[in-house]
Amino acid sequence: MDHHCPWTINCVSHRTFPHFFRFLFYSVITMIYLSYLLYIRLYILFQNRSLPSYLGPTPTQMISLFTLTLTNSITLFALTIILIHNIYTLTCNITTIEGWEIDRHDTLVRRARAHGGHLDGPDGLKIRLVKQEFPYDIGFYQNARQAMGTTFVAWLWPFASTPPNSTGYDFETNGFEEPNTTWPPPDPDRMPRQPYNNNQAAHNHPPFTSSNQINIPAFRERQRKDHLRYPKMNESFTSSSNHTHNNDYARGWKNSAGEGLRDFGVDEEEEVEYMNGEEDEDEDEDEDDLPLSEILLRKRRMGDGEGRKKEV
C-alpha cells in the first residue's frame, strides 16, 4: 500500500496506483487549460478597464470569475506538488510509507554513528546499525514498468486495465545488499521485548533474605564502592541525618552562601527553644487568670514565631 487518499475515498496500492497517477495527471492538465481560459477573460477585462461599467460584466459575473480563478489556482498548485511527488516516487520505485522508512533509517544511522555504531534495544541489547540501500530501485524505466505496467502506451491511457494481483507478490531487487538482508532495516525502538520467564529470573536472581549469607558480602562491597564513588553525597547525607536529630539544628543552619538565621534578623536562641518545644515558665497558668494584654502579647509572639519558621 502507498497511502490512503481521503479525496478519492480509497487506498492507493499496487493495483490502484496507475489509476491514481492518471487521475492526478489529467486533473492537472485540465486545470491548466481552465486557467488559460480564465486568464484570457481577466486580460480582456484589464484592457477594457476604462470603459463604462454597463458595457462590462455584471457584479455577479465579476465575483464568480475572480472566485473561480482563485479556487482553481490554489487547487492547481496543490495537485501539481502531489503530481511531482508521485513522479519522484514512480521513478525511484518507492511508496509513501517506504519513503518514511528510508528517512527513519537515515536518522537511526546518524544516531548510531554518534554512539559508536550501536543503539540501545529492548532488554538492554546493543543493536548494530549500518547504512542499507533501498533494494527495489532498479532503474528509471524498470521502476515505471513495475508501477504502471509493461506497455508504455497504456501508462496514460484512461481506460487501461488494472494490474493483476500476481504482479504484486515478487519484486526484482538491485542486488546492492546481501540476499538475506531484510527491508525495512531493524529499528531498535520497534523491536519487541523478550518474553519474561519467571522461573529463569528466579534462578538467575534469587531473592535477598537475612538467611541468604552469600549476598551479604556482595552487598557490603557495593556499598563500599558507592561510598568511594560518591563521597560528597555520603557526607551530605550523614550531615543531614545528624542535623535532623540535633537540637541545635537551627543554631547551626546555613544556606549555600554561608548565611545563617542571624543574618536574616532571626533570634537563633528563641528559634531553638521553639523547635525543641520549650515553653515559658508560665505555661501552666490558666489563660482565664491572665490579663487581656498578656494574652494578646503571647498570641503575638506565637504568630511572630510561626512567621519566622515559614521564612526559614
pLDDT of residue 270: 65
Separation of alpha carbons 203 and 80, rounded Å: 64
C-alpha cell read off for 238: 550523614
Any residues with CB less than 8 A from the CB of 95 and at least 6 apart, and which? 1, 2, 3, 89
pLDDT of residue 281: 47
DSSP code of residue 6: T
Separation of alpha carbons 67 and 74, rounded Å: 11
pLDDT of residue 257: 64
Whether the CB-CB separation of 147 and 93 falls below 8 Å is answered with: yes
pLDDT tens-digit series, residues 38-86 = 999 999 888 888 888 778 788 898 899 999 999 999 999 999 999 999 9
The active-site residue, picked from 1, 2, 5, 81, is 5
Instruction: With H, G, I as helix, E, B as strand and everything else as coil, classify residue 184.
Output: coil
Is residue 11 part of the annotated active site? The answer reads: no
Closest to 95 (Cα-Cα) out of 5, 191, 187, 190: 5
pLDDT of residue 81: 95
pLDDT of residue 273: 59
Give the residues of the chain that fall short of pLDDT 70: 1, 196-214, 231-292, 303-312
- Model-wide pTM > 0.75: no
Question: Alpha helices, DSSP H only, in the chain?
Answer: 17-47, 59-92, 96-114, 140-148, 198-204, 215-229, 231-244, 249-252, 268-276, 292-311
DSSP code of residue 254: B
Distance separating the N- and C-terminal Cα atoms of the chain:
66
pLDDT of residue 75: 95
Rg (CA), the chain: 40
